[in-house]
Amino acid sequence: MANPWAGVVELTLDGERRALKLTLGSLAQLESTLATGTLIDLVDRFEAGKYSTRDVLSPIVAGLRGGGWQGRGEDLLQADITGGPIEAARIAAQLLALAFTIPGTSEARAL
């Protein structure tokens, strides 16, 4: 199910493997939910290790929606993410990196 070439990562949510992908629509939705700044500011916070729990959950929700999930952000408040907060942060960072990196390279796309 995971396919980094297509920007797809996996997360186990309440014991079920889910595909996450940041589509253009889910990126737009993500940007509208940010408390401060832009998507680039969010990426910068992850790169600096200065992200909040909201910074982690926002890309997770957007990625789940991009992968076809019909839930709401509030649904994750009671959800069990296998690997806990550290795994959630890793997946959120990976989603952002894949959304802004050319597949097969380490170069970020010019925005």
pLDDT tens, position by position, 29-47? 888 888 778 888 998 999 9
Within a domain: 89:
yes
In the predicted model, is pLDDT for residue 5 greater than 80? no
- Determine the structural domain holding residue 85 and report its residue range: 11-99
Supply the pLDDT for residue 110.
Answer: 39
Within a domain: 110:
no
Within a domain: 105:
no
**Rg, the chain, Cα only:** 13
pLDDT tens column, 44-57: 999 999 999 989 99
Within a domain: 71:
yes
pLDDT interval class at 109 (50, 70, 90):
very low
- Beta-strand (E) ranges in 1-111? 8-13, 16-21
Within a domain: 111:
no
Supply the pLDDT for residue 69.
Answer: 93
Supply the pLDDT for residue 9.
Answer: 93
pLDDT interval class at 106 (50, 70, 90):
low
Instruction: State the CB neighbour count (10 A cutoff) for residue 71.
Output: 13
β-bridge partners, 34: none
| Number of structural domains found in the chain | 1
Dihedral over alpha carbons 20, 22, 27, 32 (to 10 degrees): 10
